[in-house]
Amino acid sequence: MIVFCTDLDNTLIYSHRHEIGANKYAVERYQGRPVSYLTEETGRLLQELAGQVCVVPTTTRTTEQYQRVNLGWTPEYALTCNGGVLLCGQVEQKEWYEESVRRIASASAMLKRAAVLLEQEPERELEVRWVKELFVFTKSRQPQETVARLRHALNPALVDVFANGVKVYVVPKGLSKGEAVRRFRRLVHSEFLMTAGDSAFDISMFAQSDLALAPRSMAERPLPKQTAVMPGNKVFSEELLSYALAAVKERNHESKKRML
């Protein structure tokens, strides 16, 4: 089985604040208004790829946030909550979640401390959310300053602290997209794994894959050697899906040659 684990936001789908051209359509609505879009070309390429490989949305979104997104079909699998939750269809798998909680047990006290610190954070502009007891999240007016304070106060051996835009996350070391796709690959016995993403959350996932796809904006980051950085001539979603389809075609061609 060929598996393609892909981030969603700013990888496949984009908010109204992101310029992706006029040929787009809404794939997510919140409180009655469209909030996320797919380009028409992305939709076409995604449907083509989904007909050939197992496409697994792999996102830091909660399950509820993920289920607001309509990609045009229901993926057989999805990984939400930074990989702490596995969905089969739209159903959360209890055993996967319980294993995720066991894997981060050593970081539980540190997450509680992070939640307390964020309650006291002067730049915080959103309530502190402890997502399914897996990680802590909020928003900050000065995210880099908030991250710096948290990193000073928390044990880096137990948790990672990230900022993604104004969003600030405290995530246990055992809860990463990389660990999730490693577990998932073992579960489905995938012989070839592709990944795609656009942020620091996705680099651990890149390291577990046979082929990783990243945007030009990540070109200066230290990325695993199997990462292909897209040229940035088109919308990232379109570039990465075109590249993934070409990689699948080449792999299938090589497989046929070996069989002759």
Same domain as 48, residue 26: yes
- Angle subtended by helix axes 143-153 and 108-119, to nearest 10: 140
Residue 97 shares a structural domain with residue 212: yes
Query: Is pLDDT of 123 > 70?
Result: yes
CATH number for the domain that contains residue 140 = 3.90.1070
Q: What is the pLDDT of residue 124?
A: 97
Report percent pLDDT > 90 for the chain.
Answer: 89
193 and 111 both lie in a single domain:
no
Looking at the structure, tell me whether residues 30 and 89 fall in a common domain.
yes
Pairing of strands 129-131, 159-164: unpaired
Q: How many domains does the chain have?
A: 2
Average pLDDT of the residues in 119-146: 96
Query: What's the whole-model pTM score?
Result: 0.93
Per-residue pLDDT at 29 exceeds 90: yes
Radius of gyration, CA atoms only, the chain = 18
Confidence class for position 254, pLDDT limits 50, 70, 90? confident
Which H helix or E strand runs over 30?
A: strand 24-30
| Predicted pLDDT at 164 | 84
pLDDT tens across 186-244, in order?
999 999 999 999 988 899 999 999 999 999 999 999 999 999 999 999 999 999 999 99
pLDDT number for residue 201 = 84
How high is the pLDDT of residue 252? Answer: 80
Contacts of 85 (CB under 8 A, 6+ apart): 63, 79, 92, 93, 96, 97, 100, 132, 134
User: Do β-strands 33-39 and 167-172 pair in parallel, antiparallel, or remain unpaired?
Assistant: unpaired
161 has a pLDDT exceeding 80: yes
pLDDT band at 256 (very low <50, low <70, confident <90, very high): low
Position 251 pLDDT exceeds 90 = no
State which residues form the domain around 156: 106-172
**Domain identity same for 185 and 75:** yes
Question: 155, 146, 141, 142: which is closest to 112 by C-alpha?
Answer: 155
Domain with 209 in it: what CATH number? Answer: 3.40.50.1000
Report how far residue 23's alpha carbon sits from residue 41's, in angstroms, rounded to the nearest whole number. 8
**Shared domain check, 118 and 90:** no
Q: Are 108 and 135 in contact (CB under 8 A)?
A: no
pLDDT tens digits for range 75-89: 999 999 999 999 998
Residue 118 has what pLDDT? Answer: 97
